[in-house]
Amino acid sequence: MATTKLTKETISDAVGLVAFESERKVLKETIDSNFSKEIYLGWYEVMLRIRRFEERAGQLYGMQKIRGFCHLYIGQEAVAAGTISALQAEDPIITAYRDHGMALARGIPANECMAELFGKSTGCTKGKGGSMHFFSKEKKFFGGHGIVGNQIPLGAGMAFSEQYRKSGQVVACFFGEGAARQGALHETFNMAMLWKLPVIFICENNGYAMGTSVKRSSNVIDISKLGLAYDMPSLQIDGMRCEAVHNTIAKAAESARKGEGPTLLEVKTYRYKGHSMSDPAKYRTKEEVEEYKLKDPIETIGSTILKNEFASSSELDNLNEKIIKEIDDAVKFAEDSPYPDPSEIYTDNYKQENYPFLID
């Protein structure tokens, strides 16, 4: 195993750490709630925004206001909230097609996100990307990728750029456990470790790749073990806890900024909804979904806020009302926005002048 600073022993203050125990037991007793009121309220607000946005997106899809592919992030909100609070605003993020939550957490306004789902010109990708391709250069959010695993080498390439320019920034590169079975992951891990690239590989293991459970896709069900072949510091953490995500991302970012290279974090999470809007999710039981809902990240953070008297329940209700209004406004903004002009089809495309095989 890697002799790095980021091991179970050295991050014993990290929360919900599972590391490599054969008995996969989440160490809840080590939960460090030593976070400020502002951080807790920030997590709560970000997660509520994602949840209310996604619920609304689901309804609008049913009404055919949103078309095409649409993958909801409901249940996984703690991963986005805990990541963003641990990173610097200039640290680039790249993720897969289940991207609404991360984009909202990174600060792309709900208006722009909703307009993108509607295919409108005011969307964050000018209405040309849709649900799977949110993008914002300004917010350092580099997609939104529909090809499973495609963003893993891209994330390493972005980290190479940060290293080359000595920017001091760290790339957060997200993928699902289904994408972890792609061969490109191994080539990427090898080069990222060889060159000590400033990248955190974050596998959001929600248990299913479309309808295929993680157990049916490989003999190795602990994705965190995949980093060990490259001596990459690799950990498995409880992704239903903002504290766990924040602590481990912060440690991994610190070590990457020091030039110590990448970390693999397997974040155990769960999606409450089907893979996409057309998935009846018959491959799992209702009981399983209900069991995860008992660990709902918004409920958990809400209880901690109330217990510590960071806010009263009426203040949390008011926050919820504020977010509902924000999402209502975003829907109106999207409805009222124009579709892109047909000429837009020729812009924002990659083109190489004088491409040798191009016949005019």
Ligand X SMILES: Cc1ncc(C[n+]2csc(CCOP(=O)(O)OP(=O)(O)O)c2C)c(N)n1
Enumerate binding residues for ligand X (CB under 6 A). Answer: 96, 98, 146-148, 175-179, 206, 208-210, 275
Q: In the bound complex, what is the minimum distance in angstroms from residue 210's beta carbon to ligand X? A: 5
Q: What is the Cα–Cα distance from 185 to 187, expressed in whole angstroms? A: 6
Q: In the bound complex, what is the minimum distance in angstroms from residue 286's beta carbon to ligand X? A: 19
Which stretches of the chain are DSSP H helices?
A: 37-62, 77-86, 100-106, 110-117, 151-164, 183-194, 214-217, 242-257, 286-293, 297-307, 313-336
Q: In the bound complex, what is the minimum distance in angstroms from residue 152's beta carbon to ligand X? A: 10
Considering beta carbons, is residue 203 or 323 the nearer one to ligand X?
203
Helix (H, G, I), strand (E, B) or coil at 271: coil
Q: In the bound complex, what is the minimum distance in angstroms from residue 292's beta carbon to ligand X? A: 14
Considering beta carbons, is residue 206 or 248 the nearer one to ligand X?
206
Considering beta carbons, is residue 115 or 179 the nearer one to ligand X?
179
Q: In the bound complex, what is the minimum distance in angstroms from residue 31's beta carbon to ligand X? A: 26
Q: Which residues contact 25 (CB under 8 A, 6 or more apart)?
A: 18
Output the six-digit token pair for 12: 């014993």
Considering beta carbons, is residue 170 or 179 the nearer one to ligand X?
179
Q: What is the Cα–Cα distance from 143 to 151, expressed in whole angstroms? A: 8
| DSSP notation for 207-258 | SEETTEEHHHH-S---GGGGGGGGT--EEEEETT-HHHHHHHHHHHHHHHHT
Considering beta carbons, is residue 206 or 224 the nearer one to ligand X?
206
Considering beta carbons, is residue 142 or 175 the nearer one to ligand X?
175
Q: What is the Cα–Cα distance from 130 to 339, expressed in whole angstroms? A: 12
Residue whose Cβ sits closest to ligand X? 176
CA distances from 95 to 162, 214, 287 (A): 17, 19, 29
CA angle 80, 104, 89 (to 5 degrees): 70
Q: In the bound complex, what is the minimum distance in angstroms from residue 213's beta carbon to ligand X? A: 10
Q: In the bound complex, what is the minimum distance in angstroms from residue 207's beta carbon to ligand X? A: 8
Considering beta carbons, is residue 135 or 208 the nearer one to ligand X?
208
| DSSP notation for 36-59 | -HHHHHHHHHHHHHHHHHHHHHHH
DSSP 205: E
